[in-house]
Chains A and B, each alone.
Chain A
Amino acid sequence: MDRERRNHLIRLFAAIAIVYGLVAVLEFTLRPTSIVFTVLRKGAIYSLVAVSMNLLNGFTGLFSLGQAGFMLLGAYTYAILTMPTSVKESERVYKYYDALVRFDTGVVVGLIAAGLVAALFAFLIGLPVLRLKSDYLAIATLGFAEIIRAVCQWDVLGPITNGANLLREFKDLSRITLPFSDIPFPPTLFVFIVVGICILLIVLLINSTYGRAFKAIRDDETAAEAMGINLFRHKELSFVISSFFAGVSGALLAMFQYTVQAQQFRTVLTYEILLIVVIGGIGSISGSCIASFLYIALSEWWLRGLDMGTFLGIHAPDLFRSGFRRLVFSVIIMVIVLFFSRGIMGDKELSFERMRSWVSGRIRRKEGAR
């Protein structure tokens, strides 16, 4: 058993290393403006927030829809903290307000702070809200996200959030450097490293005693309570940790988009994430990752022609015009939900054993058909 486990881990880390190697190679060979990078970066960022939502919805059984709100908190925290003081003092960004925060921090501090601020808000909101069940929890968290978005654009907070105006010129993906030098950090690799570390932490949590307790609560609250698991404390813990990583992913999204504005964090964003979680499989980490890359690749890349006049070599500008992509996309999602009602992965994880048995099953079926 132990040897098998060790081999399993070695293969897993080898696969991860290959992925990171590939990203690095792409980074040095492809044009930096290539669509591949958009898909990889955004896909990775969405993976992180989808996994964080899955921790809550899939592993603890709490149906929360506050993701966009926590991402917004993370994005603003990161942008405000890492914007150089000189920019804050000039009128380039804070045109109508005097910036209140007159210091700046590095990227890592900014990212951690983004998570911590989101986590702090989650803790406070969790105190009343986590006593609610299922649908009510979803409604309350959804409402919170909307409130946060409105408050962020409030004039009175202008000196901090710049009101409804953009925040920019903070340390976005084009401005990050290797530590203690001016050499630019390969941006896609940076996103992958941060997301990789975060997802690794979440996986470790899920496989710990806490993770087991979360799953027990999801399966049967009463039985979990009878085993001595403190329901409220564990729900709060899961909520705070999930929000921490949502905050970090919000900060990454800000880095990716180069600008931050409250309008970017509407409820639609939460629904996108929810869609990814459902398509990937509720309770599957690898499912969430696969689904988020697929989702981003489809919506940003593969289906683009549907909006631009030419798709798969067919030129039909009357049919393939702005908006058609959304229609096709919705149909694809319906098909996925109908035929993979438990998501791509169900609640299982991707593993070599599973892939091997899937492939050999295929071959056997083909031979049987002959």
Chain B
Amino acid sequence: MFEIKGLSVNYGGIEAVRDISLSVPEGAIVTLIGANGAGKSTTLRTIAGLVKPRAGKIEFMGEDITGKDPAYIVGKGITLVPEGRRIFPDLTVLENLKIGAYLRQDSIEEDIEWVYSLFPRLRERSWQYGGTLSGGEQQMLAVGRALMSKPKLMMMDEPSLGLAPLVVKDIFSIIEKINKEGVTILLIEQNANMALKIADIGYVMETGQITLSGKGSDLISDEGVRKAYLGG
């Protein structure tokens, strides 16, 4: 469904991503793990069209989307839940959700209901400003906002960042639930343990390159991965 072939990206003067290839089958949860500065975020930002690649090809549903505008890519059904949530603090929860559906021409009432049913907390907070929500609620809002574009592929950049362990657990169970409803997921995480547990396929990234890939359950028991990312 989604393929990256030989992607290289220069970002901030350095070669942040070097010749990586990965593929995401339809309906799967794929995770990309790695340390800080490995190039994970840059990869996602490039797919979303926020950064232009130097070389390589990005294909989605058989179409070449390399170097297209973010608006085009969102329109095609790829959406990004950015790192650090980045919800709109001075818009209400409902307005945040509506911005997520910005490019859609059809009726969005049903999807607002869907998001509210996934996150009942957001319904209660519907008229509150985004900036007044707690960290966990903001993450829910960021996910809800991304879902409003009716994505086929949802990319998530470190959804567990800065959240309490219990809240992280909630977020991950929601990710699995969303996946079961037919949304393919590409997840990058530093919390490798959590990510690999729910992932069908995992990729390990180091200094801009993919060094290891395999089934999530295989990687979790891999000696090297355990040492490097899972704390022994």
Contacts and interface: CB of A to CB of B under 8 A. Distances in A.
A225 B86 CA distance: 11
Contact of B88 (A209, A219, A228): A219
A206 to B, nearest CB: 12
B82 A226 contact: yes
Interface stretch (A106-114, A210-218, A251-259, A272-280): A210-218
Interface of A: 209, 212-213, 215-216, 218-220, 222-230, 283, 347
Given A227-B149, A228-B102, A283-B90, 11 more contacts: A209-B102, A212-B98, A212-B102, A216-B88, A218-B90, A219-B89, A220-B86, A222-B82, A226-B50, A226-B79, A228-B70
Interface string B80-108: 10100011111100010011101100000
Contacts of B223: none
The listed residue with most A CB atoms (<10 A of its CB), out of B48, B71, B80, B89, is B71
Given A223-B88, A347-B90, A229 B99 contact: yes
A215 B48 contact: no
B45 to A, nearest CB: 8
Contact of A213 (B69, B89, B99): B99
9 contacts: A212-B99, A215-B88, A216-B88, A220-B88, A226-B80, A227-B100, A228-B71, A228-B149, A229-B99
Contacts of B82: 222-223, 226
Contact of A216 (B48, B69, B75, B91): B91
A217 to B, nearest CB: 9
Contacts of A212: 91, 95, 98-99, 102
B90 A230 contact: no
B74 interface: yes
Contacts of B87: 220, 223
Interface of B: 48, 50, 69-71, 73-75, 79-80, 82, 86-91, 95, 98-100, 102-103, 145, 149
Contact of B71 (A220, A230, A283, A347): A230
A215 B96 CA distance: 10
Contacts of B79: 226-227
4 interchain residue pairs of minimum CB distance: A228-B74, A219-B88, A223-B86, A228-B71
A219 B90 contact: yes
Contacts of A220: 86-89
A227 B71 CA distance: 7
The listed residue with most B CB atoms (<10 A of its CB), out of A222, A223, A224, is A223
B102 A229 contact: yes
Contacts of A222: 50, 82, 86
B90 A229 contact: no
Nearest to A347: B90
The listed residue with most A CB atoms (<10 A of its CB), out of B80, B86, B99, B100, is B99
A215 B88 CA distance: 8
Contacts of A347: 90
Contacts of A225: 50, 70
A222 B90 CA distance: 15
A213 B79 CA distance: 17
A347 B75 CA distance: 32
B86 A213 contact: no
